[in-house]
Chains A and B, each alone.
Chain A
Amino acid sequence: MIPVYEEQYTFAIWACYSVTAFVLITMLVYSLWRSRVTKRELEALDGARRRAPAEPSK
């Protein structure tokens, strides 16, 4: 059920709640995506380092 407000305030109320939801969700999704990319990058580098043969000591 969509609530009904005084006509002159309807746009302002929906605009404020929508903009807030958009900004907060975008920030959250971007932070999680970046976290995932960095975690995978670190795991790949760590894995490559472990697989690399140890250099003979000089």
Chain B
Amino acid sequence: MRKTPLADIQCRMWSFANPNKFMRVSGYVLPVTATIATILFVVGVYQGLYVLPPERLQGDSARIILVHVPAAALSIMVYAMMCVSSLFALIWRHPVADLSAKAAAPVGAAFTLLALVTGAIWGYPTWGTWWVWDARLTSELILFFFYIGYIALWDAFDDESKAAPAAAIFCLVGSVFAVLAKYSVLLWETLHQPPSLTIGGEENVHNAFHIPLLMMMAAFFLYFLSVWLVRVRTEIRARRVRAIRLAAARE
């Protein structure tokens, strides 16, 4: 009998439920993603600081797009990935899924903080203000608080088995703000400009900025993948440490 695509994805996800297999596969993937991310960062930053011409309306400040847009995009993507992991942990009790979301949270929070800070620094010379209570900015700020709340919730419990479902539910509640952060510029008239890059839609960046921006998006994504893999591997080892200590305490 042929498997449906969803069943196929579930089968593949379950093959990584074995932490030993995850450690083995991630050990091969990690050097590749880290190397490609480094190369893309070097080329992308060089393009951003040296090669790109000043933009017609925003002048040289448009160079900031290469760090601001990837950070903002990743802040939402990482949260979406945490929601999927939380669903896997809650519904299918996937043993690596809760660790996956836990490992991603600090990296996602860092991207959100970067999006807010670089946005404010860019906003001052172009909008004339560091901050406005605009739908995009406000939803991004609330998303940042959800990241912090999620990390705090994991630390609030001594027992990991109680922390995981509570954090997963909290993460799913915050998904509303991830969706709002993504679509707020389309739903409301905001000071913030519409999305710079869309799949299959109108592009709001000039061709000269398009390739470097895609390059930096890829660099940020591969950076996330590399750091996330390191952090999941650490969480798996930390879980083993806790299990050994618990077993020793019982003897």
Please give me the residue from chain B that is nearest to A10 by CB atom. Answer: B60
Question: With a CB–CB cut-off of 8 A, which chain B residues contact A34?
Answer: 231, 234
Q: Give the dominant DSSP class at A's interface.
A: helix
Interchain CB contact under 8 A, A13 and B118:
no
Structural contact, A16 and B231, CB atoms closer than 8 A: no
Residues of A within 8 A of B121 (CB): 12, 15-16, 19
Distance in angstroms between the alpha carbons of A20 and B54 in the assembled complex: 21
Max chain B Cβ within 10 angstroms of own Cβ: one of A13, A16, A31, A34? A16
Interface residues on B, range: 35 or more
A sample of 22 inter-chain contacts (CB < 8 A) reads A5-B54, A5-B60, A6-B54, A9-B59, A9-B61, A12-B61, A12-B64, A12-B122, A12-B125, A13-B60, A13-B64, A16-B68, A16-B118, A17-B45, A17-B48, A28-B223, A28-B227, A31-B230, A32-B230, A35-B237, A38-B237, A46-B244
Q: How far is the CB of B119 from chain A (nearest CB, A)?
A: 9
6 shortest interchain CB distances as A-B pairs: A5-B60, A9-B61, A35-B234, A16-B118, A20-B67, A9-B60
- Residue among B60, B63, B71, B231 making CB contact with A31, cutoff 8 Å: B231
Which residues of A are in contact with B by a Cβ distance under 8 Å?
3, 5-6, 8-10, 12-13, 15-17, 19-20, 23-24, 27-28, 31-32, 34-35, 38-39, 41-42, 45-46, 49
Main secondary structure of the interface of B (DSSP, over half): helix
- Whether A9 touches B237, Cβ cut-off 8 Å, given contacts A20-B67, A31-B227, is no
* Nearest-Cβ distance from residue A32 to partner chain B, whole angstroms: 6
- Closest-by-CB residue of B relative to A37 is B234
Contact of B67 among A3, A16, A27 (CB under 8 A): A16
Residues of chain B whose beta carbon lies under 8 Å from any beta carbon of chain A: 45, 48-50, 54, 59-61, 63-64, 67-68, 71, 106-107, 110, 113-114, 117-118, 121-122, 124-125, 223, 227, 230-231, 233-234, 237-238, 240-241, 244-245, 248
Inter-subunit contact A38/B241 (CB<8 Å) = yes
Q: Which residues of B contact A5 (CB under 8 A)?
A: 54, 60, 63
Look across to chain A and name the residue whose beta carbon is closest to the beta carbon of B66: A17
Residue of A nearest to B216 (CB): A20
A6 & B49 in contact (Cβ 8 Å cutoff): no
| CB neighbours of B59 from chain A (8 A) | 6, 9
